[in-house]
A and B are shown apart, each in its own frame.
Chain A
Amino acid sequence: MRRYLLKQLIGRIPLLFGITVITFMVIHLAPGKPTTLQTELNPKVSYEARVRLEKLYGLDKPLPVQYGRWLSRLVRLDFGTSFQDDRPVLDKIMERIPITLLIELLSLVLIFLLAIPIGVASAVRKDSFFDKAITLFVFIGFAAPGFWIALLLMEFFGVTLGWLPVSGIRSFGSENLSLMEQALDLGKHLILPVFISAFGGLAGLSRYMRGNMLNVIQQDYIRTARAKGLPERVVIYKHALRNALLPVVTLLGLSLPGLIGGSVIAEAIFGIPGMGRLFFDSVMARDYPVIMGILFIGAVLTLLGNLLADIAYGWVDPRIRIIGEEGIKE
């Protein structure tokens, strides 16, 4: 097993390298220069000053040289400094990860808690009124633009009712409150963002779950279970559900990079200082070091997530075993 892991990890390094080459090229191919955007069309910024800025950022060098520099810093775990404010990229990313992670985790938990029962229930009651109604509901969540629902909810709960704050992640001066009150304050601020981010993701997983469940119910072993005279409840929840849950494990692994990716829309609308906004702002400003930093971390997590999904799958499903060098023994 350890050997397998090691092999997988090493095998993924060239892949990672390839990803960085491609992303580096693509972001530099995008038109627009960081220096143009930085100075916001201010006529007081002279031509010479701009040329000087480009030189100081190393943008006058050919792309391969720029890439080489980036890579040589990266192997020393130095992501460089942002073009926008000269702060280390890693600092900028680290200060934004916690809040995004919190929101994404909460919404992921919410999605799984809701989508699995919804999927199972609609599969069991396939084509019933309940199935159709719930399908409609989750598809509304999937299809309706998130920003629009967000604004409607902000208007209703924030302005009309005044129950929830409109934006931000804490009230000003909340650091003087007790820990309990602070948590409550944070919770109030997070209700809408978490809901918005979960609502959109509900459709995917619940439909997936429904499909899996339908698939499993038709299997022979379910018929066997029924034939044995087991109560329907046991058939569904013990035999069918467990098997239908297996592919979901893969999804869980694949959602790993999403946990730190954040949602641009929700974060911008709710004024949350998270990763999505950092990435979006960096792209708009062509802040190459930050873009590369985020994409690199994203790539690492994606590869890691895949690996974890593979391993976890073998672990939960006895029918699948990881085959090591020694053959089928393991």
Chain B
Amino acid sequence: MQSFRKKKKGRKLLLHLNRLTFLSQRPLGAVFFLFFLAALFGCSSQTTPSEQTSASSAFSEPAYGDRFVTGSIGEPKNLIPILASDSASQSIVGMVFNGLVKYNEKVELTGDLAEGWEIEREGLDIIFHLRRNVRWHDGHPFTADDVVFTYQKLIDPTIKTPYSGDFERIAHLEKIDEDTVKVTYKEPFSPALSSWGMSIMPKHLLEKEDFNKTSFSRHPIGTGPYRFKRWKTGEFVELEANPDYFEGRPYIDGTLYRIIPDQATLFLELRTEGVDSLDLTPLQYQRQTESDFFRRTYRKYRYPAFAYTYIGYNLIDPRFRDIRIRKALTLAVNRKEMIDGILLGLGRECTGPFVPESWAYNPEVRPLSYDLEEAKRLLAEAGWRDTDGDGWLDKNGEIFEFTLITNQGNEQRQMVAELVQRQWQKLGIRVKIRIIEWAAFLSEFIDKKRFEAFILGWALSRDPDLYDIWHSSKTREGEFNFIQYKNVEVDRLIEEGRRTFDQEKRKEIYHRLHRIIYEEQPCTFLYVPDALPIVHARVKGVKPSPIGIGYNFIKWYVPKNEQKYVTR
């Protein structure tokens, strides 16, 4: 029994990672993860000082060759880009395919398969000029037909793609000539551009295929920097460099995704150099990778993830409908202590629905300070006092108590729950904690709104559109405004934000949204954790930037004298 529990822990950790969906460089297509590639496609950075030996710098000329091995906790499921919904598949799809656009190292949209684009009629039309002379891995030329085909499959109701949403807003898409497509939207939709980070699929190979049965799902052919080589179920997926890649041949000849479903095993593999990189936990980062061996063999990186953790309240509950109570609850949570204690200092306070690396983030919004007295005052003002002296607040004879739920297997969230339970107790609020298995947690509690308060995290897309999480229309079962937040002004601003194409104007809108949401405290925003990737020291050319470290993977290299694997 005990062992089973532990096993679940490992597995749950994976679910926790899965949950943090990172919209990567390829904005829509790629929902990346916290295991290796997530780190690659993270955001800004801060490198631990790397001690370069003089010997290695003498030989550190870029060279072709070697292989990069990463561990993946989950097995990829389907490598057809529009069907790839799990993180393991996403990271492989991201290497094999390209979208029309991608995010560059400064988190700005730039061309990928499209060389450039024009936005016309205030955003109703987007005209993409495609890159010429791009070839699929099988040698067939890439053309506008492939874009049209991908679009048709995305909106085809018989195909099990979860990504149709953004593409349903298209009125029509036409091919103007071999290298030009024109997309016409029903109404201006600014997240549209980033949605074209969706990987484009080859028409000539998939046209006659049944998407449910095609072997393409396990043998993808794309345009990307790496070609699919083979996949041994439950063991590994191997990719090899595409020598004809349009941005130049990648230095590293091969990448290998080893499927290792257990966190502890992954770390042991790191210690035996069986994998070249891993996303560390705060504990591993601070305490377990400080030995001489690790200093010699690996380089650690650290940058804020595009994600945050929060406590959500059921805003239908009359107690939580009162802003004074929500504010009091936030005031009583010592977020600094939480970051120091739970993340071992590897994170930052969160002040709203955006992370500091996003252009939508409003730096003028200051986090509420930790202030128990003010919290008590607000609660008293709302009518909650300890009238009978039993230590718990009450009102009309009822004690202030509620249940805080979170999912099983995520130790960080469980620690958060215990910490806030203790801190709210100081206010005289009784909190019960319930930990629930992930699937049941989502479908029976969160989706059905059967909760008083919960702890969850959001991973954010690069585009700051808040519609799906904060718009008042998104409260149906299976939608993401779980807390049922409703604010007319916020609704209006969100709608305006997704109609506006001018980034400066959008920025103003999101800055206002950020402020309003933080002032309203619909949930207690806790922290933005750091992504903590570790990469083998023989790999050079890793240049941390606001988007993370993986954006220039094709420029990473291993100097000739340090190459470990023979790849050809």
Contacts and interface: CB of A to CB of B under 8 A. Distances in A.
Interface string B147-159: 0000000000110
Q: For the complex of A and B, list the 9 residue pairs with the smallest distance between their C-beta atoms, beginning with the closest.
A: A273-B234, A32-B439, A46-B165, A145-B3, A31-B440, A43-B468, A45-B162, A85-B77, A31-B444
Interface in A249-291: 264-265, 268-274, 277-278, 280-281, 284, 286
A148 B6 contact: yes
A304 interface: no
A183 interface: no
A31 B6 CA distance: 22
A42 B31 CA distance: 8
Contact of A44 (B19, B23, B75, B442): B23
B420 to A, nearest CB: 22
A269 B75 CA distance: 14
Interface string B454-493: 0000100100000011000010101110000000000000
B481 to A, nearest CB: 10
Contacts of A166: 265, 268-269, 272, 274
A122 B123 CA distance: 84
A86 B78 contact: yes
Interface of B: 2-4, 6-7, 10-11, 15, 18-19, 21, 23, 28, 31, 69, 75, 77-78, 83, 85-87, 157-158, 160-166, 168, 212-213, 217-218, 232-236, 256, 258-262, 264-265, 268-269, 271-272, 274, 437-440, 442-444, 447, 458, 461, 468-469, 474, 476, 478-480
A49 to B, nearest CB: 5
B443 A281 contact: no
A40 B440 contact: no
B443 A36 contact: yes
Contact of B28 (A44, A162, A280): A44
A297 interface: no
B15 A284 contact: yes
Given A43-B468, A45-B165, A280-B11, A273 B259 contact: yes
Given A49-B163, A49-B164, A147 B87 contact: no
B198 to A, nearest CB: 10
A144 B433 CA distance: 30
A38 B85 contact: yes
Contacts of B439: 30-33, 36-37, 284, 286
Contacts of B157: 52
Nearest to A95: B233
Interface in A155-190: 155, 158-159, 162, 165-170, 172
Nearest to B212: A86
A39 B268 contact: no
Contacts of A172: 69, 236, 256, 258
Given A48-B164, A280-B11, A284-B439, A96 B234 contact: yes
Contacts of A32: 437-440, 442-444
Nearest to A41: B19
B311 to A, nearest CB: 16
A281 B164 contact: no
A277 B480 contact: no
Nearest to B259: A271
A281 B69 CA distance: 23
Interface in A274-321: 274, 277-278, 280-281, 284, 286
15 contacts: A32-B444, A49-B163, A52-B160, A57-B160, A148-B3, A166-B274, A167-B269, A170-B235, A268-B10, A268-B262, A269-B10, A271-B235, A271-B259, A273-B232, A284-B438
Given A48-B165, A166-B274, A273-B235, A40 B261 contact: no
Contacts of A38: 85-86, 162
Interface residues of A, number: 64
Nearest to A167: B265
A26 interface: no
Nearest to B15: A284
A280 B28 CA distance: 30
Given A48-B168, A50-B162, A166-B272, A81 B265 contact: no
A146 interface: yes
A40 B447 contact: no
A148 B5 CA distance: 12
B447 A36 contact: yes
Nearest to B191: A44
Contacts of B6: 145, 147-148, 265
Nearest to B440: A31
A148 B258 CA distance: 22
Contacts of A272: 234
A327 B440 CA distance: 55
B12 to A, nearest CB: 9
A265 B162 contact: no
B212 A81 contact: yes
Contacts of A284: 11, 15, 438-439
Interface in A1-59: 30-33, 36-53, 56-57
Nearest to B465: A43
Contacts of A278: 234
B478 A36 contact: yes
**Most chain B beta-carbon contacts within 10 A, residue among A44, A49, A86, A272:** A44
